[in-house]
Amino acid sequence: MVIFLITVSCSSDFTEVKPNGVLESTTFFDNEKNAEQAIIGLYDLLQYNNSVSWSSALFIKVLPGDDANTGGGKSLLTNQLCINQAKLGYKIVLVPLEMSLDQMLSRTMSSTTGYNSIDIFLKRLATGEKEDAMKKMRRMNREIEGRGGRYTVFKPREDMTIEQLLASVHSYNADVIYIDYLNLLAGVSDSEDSWRKLGNAARHAKIYAEN
């Protein structure tokens, strides 16, 4: 029986194979399609954490009301995150760029009391419901203050750039600033390269947060 042993050398191109399905983090955000995929992935993770159980990572549940029929929505999710973090003792500032101040406050009261946000906004609550809602709101405020937290809604009176907006809320000394939505900032959505402007605004906010 004759056994042949053959030794073959290979180039690094043959032995070092890049894994399939892995994208380069340094170049991934260079085009609009990849940036959109990343945002969808983030929302998918939030949706999963928000729906599996009461032990959800974000501890969020949509209370009965008109918002529950729509699946919550990003603004409702953001508002609930603000409330939860304020209850944990953080100083939170929410900047609604799409909704009016009254609309956002109605949603805050709806999330806290369980009453329909449209009924709150249109002042359709009965006398007993109003008293109950105010009692629950005062209880929430006492809980937030007792933990050392704060929840502030800052509604700009005019369009602002990311630089102007962050300068306006700087005096609140917030731990977390939510901007709903970032793409509604001045100079972001009204240009042909809006996705690039959106990335620049996000990077500016990141630098602000790190400093």
Tens-digit pLDDT profile for residues 202-211: 888 888 888 7
Q: What are the backbone angles phi and psi of residue 12, rounded to the nearest 5°? A: -65, -25
Mean pLDDT for all residues in the chain: 76
Res. 98: pLDDT tops 60: yes
User: Is the pTM value of this prediction over 0.75?
Assistant: no
> Which parts of 88-161 fold into alpha helices (H)?
101-113, 117-121, 127-146
Could you read off the pLDDT of 46-91 as tens digits, one per residue?
Answer: 555 544 444 444 444 443 333 433 334 677 788 888 999 999 999 9
pLDDT of residue 44 exceeding 60 = no
